[in-house]
Amino acid sequence: MQIRDITYTSGGTTLTGYLADGSGGKTAPGILVCHQGGGLRDHERARARRLAELGYVAFAADLYGEVAKDQTDAMRLLNGLVEQPALWHARFLAGLAQLKAQANVDTARLGAIGFCFGGMTVLELVRVSADVKCVVAFHPGLTGLPENDPRPVTAKVMVCAGQLDPLIPPAGRERLFKLMADAGADLQYINYSQAGHSFTDKSVDAFGMPNFKYDAPTDRRSWAAMRDLFDETFAAAG
């Protein structure tokens, strides 16, 4: 496995992403990894390395250019992108461009995964770019979805969500179903009844917030579901 940081820019902002190349010098699918609300941290770097261990080229994008100091700062950074869609799009498309530029990436076999805010990001990515063939959103926030969205969805979409997640109210879940149905999307929504928010991240327990908790069984099951989707999608594309 080859790992290194990559510094790049978007709209004058310097960003530093993390590449984990498990291709062994052969052409391989590329996976974009989108971080949680606090910024690019060890959680996403570790996930990129796990993807590389499976033979993928993974690039953990930097959407902020900084790491949040605390929860309040994280919301500032997150809202600063979500409230400016053009800026948000530019940031994740810049990360995708870095992934596509890697010599061993098969640009016909691209996917993306995201956690929390990153899950929201990959759900937006499929509306903006037809380059990715599949995305997986782990515990994404689903509280601000529009009533309608005419933009098409060509990628396969998987959402792995905890039933106890306070950021996925029933109304948000139903809105997602309607939006994806209206777009003719191939959607898999996996509901984990014992899980809340950030079930993939062990560090979330330190916040002591209700229903924000790491859950090992759900982490394991959702990662396995992601692998199945990747096997299905990239075998067909290859």
Q: Is 238 a residue whose pLDDT tops 70?
A: no
CATH number for 2-237 (one of 3.40.50.720, 3.30.365.10, 3.40.1350.10, 3.40.50.1820): it is: 3.40.50.1820
- Helix or strand (DSSP H, E) at 217: helix 216-237
Which of 69, 91, 89, 88 minimizes the C-alpha distance to 80? Answer: 88
The domain limits of the chain are 2-237
- pLDDT of res. 236: 58
Q: Which DSSP letter does residue 212 get?
A: B
Within 27-116, residue ranges assigned H as helices are 42-53, 71-82, 85-100
Write down the mean pLDDT value for the chain: 95
Q: pLDDT of 196-214, one tens digit each?
A: 999 999 998 888 888 999 9
| Mean pLDDT on 85-113 | 97
CA–CA separation, 166 and 87 (whole Å): 27
Sign of the alpha-carbon dihedral angle for 84, 89, 94, 96: positive
Write out the DSSP string of 145-196. Answer: --S---S---SEEEEEEETT-TTS-HHHHHHHHHHHHHTT-EEEEEEETT--
Q: pLDDT of 55-96, one tens digit each?
A: 999 999 999 999 999 989 999 999 999 999 999 999 999 999
